[in-house]
Amino acid sequence: MQYDELIVTIRRLAIEAGQKIMEIYTSEDFDVKVKSDDSPVTEADEAADALISAGLRAAFPDVMLVTEEQSASHSAKGDTFLIVDPLDGTKEFINRRGDFTVNIALVEQGVPTRGVVYAPARERMFYTLADGTSVEEVGPFAPEVAGETRPIRVAESDNAALMVVASKSHRDQATDDYIGKYSVKDTKSAGSSLKFCLVATGEADLYPRVGRTMEWDTAAGHAVLSGAGGKVVRFDDLSPLTYGKDGYANPFFIAFAPSVELKDA
């Protein structure tokens, strides 16, 4: 895999998909359907998926592609694959809350090594460079030309005053019980894979997820966080969260800055 080519391509596709999503988001109305698992899907999900899938298949025809909207057709397994959530945070999109993202990642040997997370309504974009380190681009988000970037790095956490980020749409008592094990300065809510990115930039120290997610929800954010010095582990045994699992379903997990003193589940 040529990482330079990969980063240019996934950054461009994320921005182009974000433009398409925002066209629909700012329209007066849009179609919402319900999938077989009772989760919602919009015309924006489908349009972004078609755009990204076509772009990735054209650029990397020999690399397996996994996307949320085509997940029913994914049966083959591979050590290396591209994984896409064309619109992560569909509920945020439907409710016009802005915390939705375009996620594209490369997984190698079970590990997300490169990725991009673009939040078009928030005008924030995070991605890994070819060398695996992570940056935030500050605009103007032109597809063909990268704008100014700044390196990002996880915080040196104060375990007596942690900043915790949790799901906006899926916060529950189990999450609150786990957060209660820590000395918390404050908590903030965020939707989609933005939570990984807030840990990656040092805006938060800890993101526990005690709820259902799929690999396409987390891979890009995981890659960005890793490239900023962060970690993601399973909630049950604190072993690294891996990818390429049967059905692409994740266990509960914890994303964190390494200076956080993790508590047992």
pLDDT of residue 74: 59
Q: Are residues 94 and 172 in the same domain?
A: no
Q: Which of 129, 151, 173 is the last residue in one of the domains?
A: 151
Is 112 a residue whose pLDDT tops 90? yes
Distance CA 58, CA 41 (A): 25
Mean of the pLDDT values across residues 155-166?
Answer: 97
Q: 264 lies in a domain?
A: no
CATH number, position 27: 3.30.540.10
Q: Are residues 49 and 102 in the same domain?
A: yes
For the chain, how many structural domains are there in total?
Answer: 2
Label residue 30 by pLDDT band (50, 70, 90). confident
> What is the domain range of residue 200?
162-256
Q: Are residues 189 and 118 in the same domain?
A: no
* Per-residue pLDDT tens digits for 207-261: 999 999 999 999 999 999 999 999 999 999 999 999 999 889 999 999 999 999 9
Mean of the pLDDT values across residues 132-136?
Answer: 98
Q: Which of 89, 120, 151 is the last residue in one of the domains?
A: 151
Mean of the pLDDT values across residues 148-171?
Answer: 91
Distance CA 7, CA 3 (A): 6
CATH number, position 249: 3.40.190.80
Q: Are residues 147 and 166 in the same domain?
A: no
Q: Choose between 42 and 15: higher pLDDT.
A: 15
Q: Are residues 127 and 86 in the same domain?
A: yes
33: left (phi over 0), alpha (psi -120 to 50) or beta: beta
